[in-house]
Amino acid sequence: MNHYLKWAYAEAANSVAVNHKRFPDRHVSQLYQRVRSRRGHATAVGAVARHLAEATYWVLSRNEPYRDPGVKSVSSTGR
């Protein structure tokens, strides 16, 4: 993996760690909390970074928007 990408995903994961209490319903926040309670902050950040990298791969390979498993989708039709 490109070192710059690895750094960027680690930074994004640290942002999740800092803001996990503000957005507790998000899947990555729940992942961070779950891993942190068992393994600690550093491992939790690594797990979130890996999850973000894998999500990016699937979003780009399928050419579809990201759908957070922890958030209910809202209809775009306005009904």
Mean of the per-residue pLDDT values of the chain: 88
Residue 77 resides in a domain: no
- If one counts the domains in the chain, the total is 1
Residue 68 resides in a domain: no
In this prediction, residues 21-25 reach a mean pLDDT of 91
CB 27 within 8 A of CB 70: yes
Percent of the chain with pLDDT strictly greater than 70: 86
Residue 66 buriedness (CB in 10 A; 0-12 / 13-18 / 19+): exposed
DSSP for residue 26: S
> Which of 74 and 44 is assigned the larger pLDDT?
44
CB 45 within 8 A of CB 31: no
Residue 49 resides in a domain: yes
Domain residues for the domain of 12 are 3-62
Q: Tell me the per-residue pLDDT of 44-60, one tens digit each, with 9 for 90 and over.
A: 999 999 999 999 999 99
Residue 22 resides in a domain: yes
